[in-house]
Amino acid sequence: MNVSSLNLALWAVNLESPIKSLADWAGHVNLQMEKAKNAGADFLIMPEYVSEQWMSFAPAGLQPDEEIPWMAMQAREAIERLKDLANTYDMALLAGTFPVTVQGEDEIGEHPVNDNVGHYNRAHLFLPDGRLITQDKLSLTPNESNQDAWCLTPGQELKVFSWRGLRMTILTCLDIEMPALSLLLADQNVDLILVPSMTSKLAGYHRVFGCAKARAVELLSAVAVVGPIGETPFLGGKRKNYTSAAAVYLPCEESLGHTGIATEIEPDDTTVGLGPLIIAHDLPLKEIRKLRKGSAEVWPGNWSADHVAIEEL
């Protein structure tokens, strides 16, 4: 299929929106899918840890090291409630990330895994053609890897996949900050990088979104990044304060408007309703491919520093 353009919807989920069940949560997703479709979107992207909103109906007395296992127990039902939406609206849905349990065999039955049993922070992408593409977060934060807290297992594979003639990949939050992953992607000719994120401080927002823009420049790709906003409802109270926003970044080229920004909303820690939903119309992916093939102003392609030696003075 020839690539021309794509309309992306990014939903900075308001974690303070009240829900009483996964049915409530899936209802919110359905409403935003309908709204995005009516605005001409081909794709809806949600943030990392959308499951934090589920904590509003979690059982009382959960300890920090019990939260991920409890959220993972909801994964099957969450997938079941979302699986038909992509087909219903004929648009892709990246339903952010939520934990899954791995016990000898992948929890949703995709393929055998190694003996490293635990929980993954997994992104779930539902496509209108019926495919469910998943991507486990590769680089974990200290709290995610803390044995006394969330105790997650890092993923082992970075998947590149195609849809509508586009080559895509998913890098979750901290993954977009890792230059080593950018090097792995350098020769993959990826058109679009999807970045579900969650940050608790303004510094975290700037790290993730700043690195997302840098990846757009160095990989000559479009990068879409979105995080949640607001405090998580938890057993009748509140905890943590999430500061984030949404943006789509492009390579900084004259034919793409110079700035490297297709669309962007400023970070905030409070919002109203279900949270901001923005649409990036007509992403110039055909032009980006043309630039990547040799017409960019100075981009050297898959440039290697193998010939460069470090000299210590």
**Is pLDDT at 8 greater than 70 in this prediction?**
yes
Q: pLDDT at position 38, please? A: 98
Side chain identity at residue 197, one-letter code: S
Q: Stretch 159-181: mean pLDDT, rounded?
A: 97
Q: Measured between alpha carbons, how far is 124 from 92 in angstroms, rounded to an integer?
A: 11
Structure-block tokens of residue 265? 């909303």
Q: How far apart are CA 158 and CA 39, in angstroms?
A: 31
pLDDT at 110: 43
Beta carbons of 219 and 185 less than 8 angstroms apart: yes
pLDDT tens per residue, range 171-183: 999 999 999 999 9
Bridge partners, residue 43, by sequence:
8, 92
Please, which pLDDT band fits residue 2 given cuts at 50, 70 and 90? low
pLDDT band at 135 (very low <50, low <70, confident <90, very high): very high
Please report which confidence band the pLDDT of residue 240 belongs to, taking 50, 70 and 90 as the band edges. Answer: confident
How far are the Cα atoms of 189, 196, 225 from residue 222, in angstroms, in the given order?
11, 14, 10
Q: Kindly tell me if the per-residue pLDDT of 165 is higher than 80.
A: yes
| CA 168, 223, 184, 207 torsion-angle sign | negative
The confidence score (pLDDT) of residue 108 equals 44
Q: What is the predicted pLDDT for the residue at 111?
A: 41
Mean pLDDT of 253-275: 95
Residue 213 makes CB contacts below 8 A (sequence gap 6+) with 223, 247, 249, 260, 261
Task: Give dist(CA 209, CA 100) in Å, integer.
Answer: 26
Mean pLDDT of the 182-211 span: 96
Q: Each residue of 141-155: pLDDT tens digit?
A: 999 999 888 999 999
Instruction: Write down all domains in the chain, each with its CATH number in brackets.
Output: 8-295 (3.60.110.10)
- The helix (run of H) or strand (run of E) holding residue 29 is helix 22-38
For the cut 70, the answer to whether the pLDDT of residue 215 exceeds it is: yes
pLDDT of residue 3: 67
With vertex at residue 191, the alpha carbon angle to CA 187 and CA 192, rounded to the nearest 5 degrees, is: 115
174 or 17, higher pLDDT? 174
Q: State the average pLDDT for the chain.
A: 92
How confident is residue 19, by pLDDT bands cut at 50, 70 and 90?
A: very high
* Mean pLDDT calculated for residue range 156-184: 97
Distance of CA 24 to the CA centre of its chain: 22
Helix, strand or coil for residue 43?
A: strand
Q: What percent of the chain has pLDDT over 70?
A: 92
**The pLDDT of residue 267:** 95
pLDDT digits (tens, 9 = 90+) for 69-116: 999 999 999 999 999 999 999 999 999 999 999 875 555 444 444 454
pLDDT at position 296, please?
96
Look up residue 82 and give its two tokens.
């979302």
For residues 244 and 237, the model is more confident at: 244
